[in-house]
Structure formats: structure tokens, C-alpha cells
Amino acid sequence: MLRYVLFTSLLLSSSIMAKPFGDADKGKVKSPSCVYCHGANGMTNNDAYPNLAGQNAKYLYDSMKAYQDGLRTGPLAEMMAAQLKVLNDDDLRDVAAFYASQPVQIAK
Ligand code: HEC
């Protein structure tokens, strides 16, 4: 029994580790509307909007979930929640993977 439990948990953990967090290529296609504020590759010159490039995928995913779930509040958070209305959980992972994969370019 113990052997079975150990084997199963090993299988589970390796399958979780083997699965990358979202698909960056799909995420690029799923995020055309974000370009206006966050820039084509997640770097923006507008101080009012956060850069997304190079950020941790899990953090980006969690922050987008927080907007969708109404856990981030205020006018800008409501605006962001509206941006994410049509994206489902897989979409959020893919979009997060895309921005996480983009290089950080420091503005001059
Ligand atoms: C009209 C401008 C605008 C558009 C379009 C927009 N965003 Fe945002 N985004 C913002 C602003 C402003 C914030 C910061 C809001 C706040 O104060 O919480 C933000 C925050 C975020 C954050 C959290 C960043 C962090 O560091 O916590 C993520 C992730 C994000 N946006 C992703 C997206 C995605 C994905 C799209 C497209 C589906 C998108 N945004 C479209 C303006 C925009």
C-alpha cells in the first residue's frame, strides 16, 4: 500500500512538473487587445500601465484571476476585470506564459 501511495505521488508530481505553465504561442494569439496598454511584448512607455514582460507566469495568472474574482478593487482593477471577461482559465495560463517569456527591455 505504502509503495502504491509513494509511486502514485511520484507520478503525480512528475506529471505536474513536466507540464509547462500555459502555452506562450497560444497566449500571444489570445492577447491582441492587451497590446494597447501593455505594449506588443509586455513593455509599455505609459507609466500608468504595468509592464508584464519577464514577470513570473504564476504571478501573472494569479493577478488575472484576482481581477476576475473581484479580489483586486478600484477603478483600474475594474477596468482590467472587463478586459479579462472573455478569457477562461486555460487562456489566462497561456497569456501568462506568453508575457513571462518576453524579454524585459528597460526604457531609455
Ligand atoms: C485600457 C488599458 C488596459 C488594457 C487594454 C489591458 N490592461 Fe492589464 N492593466 C492595466 C492597468 C491600468 C493595470 C493595473 C490595474 C490595477 O491598478 O490593479 C493592469 C494590470 C494588469 C495585470 C497585473 C499586473 C501586475 O503586476 O499585477 C495583468 C497580468 C494584466 N493587466 C494583463 C492584461 C491582459 C492579459 C490584457 C488583455 C486581455 C490586459 N491586461 C489589457 C491596463 C490595461
Report pLDDT digits (tens) over 69-104. 999 999 999 999 999 999 999 999 999 999 999 999
Question: What's the confidence (pLDDT) of residue 106?
Answer: 75
Question: What's the confidence (pLDDT) of residue 89?
Answer: 97
Q: Is the CB of 76 under 6 A from ligand 1?
A: yes
Average predicted confidence (pLDDT) for the chain = 88
Cβ(14)–Cβ(67) below 8 Å? no
Question: What's the confidence (pLDDT) of residue 7?
Answer: 53
Q: Is the CB of 33 under 6 A from ligand 1?
A: yes
Cβ(92)–Cβ(84) below 8 Å? yes
Residue 19 or 47, more confident: 47
87: left (phi over 0), alpha (psi -120 to 50) or beta: beta
**Nearest residue to 25 via CA among 94, 79, 96:** 94
Q: Is the CB of 31 under 6 A from ligand 1?
A: yes
**Confidence bin at 8 (pLDDT 50/70/90):** low
Distance CA 61, CA 102 (A): 15
Question: What's the confidence (pLDDT) of residue 105?
Answer: 87
Quick one: average pLDDT of 48-58?
Answer: 97
Q: Is the CB of 37 under 6 A from ligand 1?
A: yes
CB within 8 Å of 41: residues ≥ 6 apart: 53, 102, 103, 105
Expressed in angstroms and rounded, the spacing between residue 94 Cα and the centre of ligand 1 is: 15
Expressed in angstroms and rounded, the spacing between residue 20 Cα and the centre of ligand 1 is: 23
Residue 46's Cβ-side half-sphere holds a number of Cα atoms within 13 Å equal to: 11
Total residues belonging to the chain: 108
Q: Output Rg (C-alpha) for the chain, integer angstroms.
A: 17
**Confidence bin at 3 (pLDDT 50/70/90):** low
